[in-house]
Structure 1
């Protein structure tokens, strides 16, 4: 008889959600996690700590820039970096302890250590081997570093090191203009560092709607972040307490270089499957180190599943959570499903940027007839009241059916506003459905309704 119905390897967002849902569905469940705390990269050295620092530095920006405009007078606050890091650590602790509480509440067994699948249905943790009817791999990802770059997490750092620098650097180079690089770059720019972003492509945030990306770059530049685009990094070399970054522009091979106290390497992430024993087990692998799965997230080994960053698709915590729930449902004999067409993405800078569904570029490439409804936050009373009138909502709908195909928002609260469109798309709503839905005034969400109105007869406040 198996020790467990399910063993989940990895206690990050995909893994712990999978374990909790499986336990709720009546399965005897264990979760393998080698960190001292649950929550994986996201809660410990990723999503949550970075949002804490983004929040703290946004408040600093408000005090320095907007308080006086509102009649809040007094000296600007100074930054106690050690105390800010303690605040970040307290946020992490509160969240990770919360997951441990949920494990106890739902009777999920935490197998502390690193897991290895020694045979189908067998997981070795430390010196003990545990059996399970089903196994889910939820081991997440790790930072992907360009060849020839040596990361020391002191001067040349990944996002992990960037979250715990001993002091605020006077200068920082960010290699990679994706979500992680721009969020961390934004944090340190607000703290006074001179931040330069070096990106291989000719635009920031690859895959984002081009119009939004262009506006996003312009706003970040106004905030003091410098950009070098279309640049192929040649050298990243530590020289004492600083590092040199050298590049060549792709269009003309023109060289350039810069020196900074800290270099953040934010060139993406790759699946972390080291030590699992997948090769010996005969697990089929996909491109770029992913584990190959079918529509039910099952591997070619019976009873073995994989989710989250370990499999294909966007490396997003909420995508991993959805997959974790779906796999638990499937194993419990129910119908597990993930709608990959409706997975939102968010950049938590100020302003926030959020998107779901198709971009204009994708629709053009598909040859699909569509219409665009746009509304600027300058027409939104609430946004102007909080000095966030820059940005817009852009809604894309089918030309004939009016069905919502995608939405892209840059502005206040974009990461929350996008979910109205996620729900609309999940239920096959039209732009008119959104436009005819009453929205409270004054709220940022009215901008979404106005964009939907713009897909029809026209927005009211444009």
Structure 2
């Protein structure tokens, strides 16, 4: 029987990063993955493939809508969905192969199969060969799966989740997206660009409801301009398929009126659930909460002292980079170090175009907490860089403490804000004031100038360019 200092169950961003960091710190490490490729949801059917399709469809939309204004004449532009999907898969393949390389480089033993607890220090692996390994410590990093509603039958053909949406055989005529969160909006935009009619049905009264209200309003305005239809404050009550036609029944929560939508594809994007199937948690008495998430303490330790859990399988936002930070934290704790994570500084991003990005507190959260704050906002349309590229939608908003001027939240909508939000994270990590950002030199012309201008607006209400 092989023995290890650490066994990691699950090879997504949390799992493989945890394994690498454990190995770097001198621990003999095993990684267990049930699927034939490493990388988990993010690399195989999540972050990476969805961004590949977003980029491909963005290029196509630019060609048919924006090239001419740049003086580029290309004639009759067509897209090849099969090639687009194939390119997406090639991006996935290269990325997952890269994880395999990293496992070898760091001398991590990889086992393919379903890992389940035999007891606190032994893990059975059911794969091509059934075997058992011994581990002093184990990190559960099994991630999440798409959620659904109890009355919806996901047939994976016409009634689909994000996984199937990444490899459709055709562009839908009418795609109804149930859920106005990150996943639904990103994939909805992909197929809207390719010619589908898209309707988003959302239970709440706004899209991306966990982000700042100004961002929700701005992105809704942009999507409506792109001809995406919305049914907000609508609760879906039934999804029925008859051949290639699907009927979606919903109730307008504000008016109490029942409505119906007809579609040829329905994307169910109502969130994700922690995935612990097959782990045999009962064998070791690991506790889970009412939502099926593994319960952990501030060190991400379960009630069984040598077993830890990270990522989507525990509380908090389901984000790949959160899982990575948690994997690193556990590895360093096991090595006797004292790492920390400030969850308030984990950024959130929506990879639509324009992109949406946030870190820290929203304006709604500050109001609810009774915090005295000031707000500075600057529109992207006032930037020379935005006008040069034609990306004039969006803004940067900075929220700062009214007395101390410390930055409490940074919220952006615009071109490349997924990258730009790191400036907000850095500033808040070092507890910068809005004035600190305002006095930093920002290269001209750049999108980042909007951050400086928003900081000026928050500090003294004196932005230069509006």
Which TM-score tier does this pair reach, normalised by the shorter chain?
Answer: over 0.9
1:423 matched to 2:406: no
The corresponding residue for 1:113 is: 113
The 3-state SS of whatever aligns with 1:246 is: strand
How far did residue 280 of structure 1 move? 2.8
- Deviation string, structure 1 residues 320-354 (Cα, Å, up to 9, x no partner): 00000000101111113211010000000100000
2:236 maps to which of 229, 233, 236: 233
Aligned residues: 462
Q: Could you say which residue in structure 1 is the equivalent of 2:456?
A: 453
Aligned ranges 1:292-311 → 2 under 5 Å: 292-311=295-314
Over aligned residues, Cα RMSD in angstroms? Answer: 1.0
Which region of structure 1 is more displaced relative to structure 2, 407-416 or 277-286? 277-286
Aligned-pair CA distance for 1:242:
2.2
Distance 1:385 1:66 in 2: 13
TM-score (norm 1): 0.99
Q: Determine the C-alpha separation between the residues in 1 that align with 2:429 and 2:211.
A: 21
Tell me, yes or no, if the aligned pair for 2:117 and 2:283 is still in contact at 8 Å. no
In the TM superposition, what is the alpha-carbon distance from 1:145 to its structure 2 partner?
Answer: 0.5
1:397 equivalenced with 2:400 (yes/no): yes
Instruction: For residue 21 of structure 2, give the secondary structure of its aligned residue in structure 1.
Output: helix
Matched, 1:40 2:72: no
Encode CA deviations 1:30-89: one digit per residue, 9 max, x unaligned: 100011110000000011000000000111111111110010012142011100000000
Residue of 338, 349, 371 corresponding to 1:335: 338
Aligned to 1:362: 365
- The answer to whether the 8 Å contact 1:322/1:338 transfers is yes
* Cα separation, 2, equivalents of 1:243 and 1:280: 43
SS of the residue corresponding to residue 421 of structure 2 reads helix
SS in structure 1 of the partner of residue 111 of structure 2? strand
2:437 maps to 1:434: yes
Structure 2: 5+ residue stretches without partners: none
Q: Which residue matches 1:60?
A: 60
- 2:38 match: secondary structure: coil
1:174 corresponds in structure 2 to: 177
SS in 1 for 2:316: coil
Q: Say if 1:348 and 1:415, in contact at 8 Å, map to a contact too.
A: yes
- Looking at structure 2, the residues matched to 242 and 81 of structure 1 have their Cα atoms a distance apart, in angstroms, of 22
Q: 1:278 aligns to what?
A: 281
Q: In 1, distance between residues paired with 2:448 and 2:209?
A: 26
1:141-193, Cα deviation, whole Å (9 max, x unpaired): 00110011000111000000100111111110000000000000000000000
Match of residue 11 from structure 1: 11
1:289 corresponds in structure 2 to 292
- Cα distance in 1 between the residues matched to 2:91 and 2:245: 30
Measured in 1, the distance between the counterparts of 2:296 and 2:85 equals: 39
CA distance in 1, matches of 2:69, 2:177: 32
Match of 1:233, SS? strand
| Equivalent residue number for residue 315 of structure 2 | 312
Match of 1:244 among 230, 247, 264: 247
Aligned counterpart, 2:216: 213
Q: Which residue of 2 aligns with 1:77?
A: 77
The SS at the match of 1:270 is strand
Distance 1:277 1:459 in 2: 58
Residue equivalent to 1:371: 374
In structure 1, distance between residues paired with 2:287 and 2:115: 19
Once residues 336 and 34 of structure 1 are traced to their aligned partners in structure 2, the CA distance between those partners, rounded to angstroms, is 30
Partner of 1:98: 98
Correspondence list, 1:140-155, <5 A: 140-155=143-158
* Equivalent of residue 132 in structure 1, options 131, 135, 138: 135
> Do 2:302 and 2:309's aligned partners in 1 also have CA atoms closer than 8 Å?
yes
Residue 23 (structure 2) aligns with: 23
Contact 1:63 1:76 in 2 (8 A): no
> Are the aligned partners of 1:346 and 1:415 in contact in 2 as well (CA < 8 Å)?
yes
Shift of 1:287: 3.6
Of 185, 188, 191, 1:185 maps to: 188
Deviation at 1:207, TM superposition (A): 1.2
Deviation at 1:251, TM superposition (A): 1.7
Residue 378 of structure 1: CA displacement? 1.1
Alignment partners' CA distance in 1, 2:295 and 2:244: 43
Q: TM-score, normalised by structure 2?
A: 0.98
The DSSP-based 3-state class of the residue aligned with 1:372 is strand
Deviation at 1:201, TM superposition (A): 0.8
- SS of the aligned residue for 1:288 comes to coil
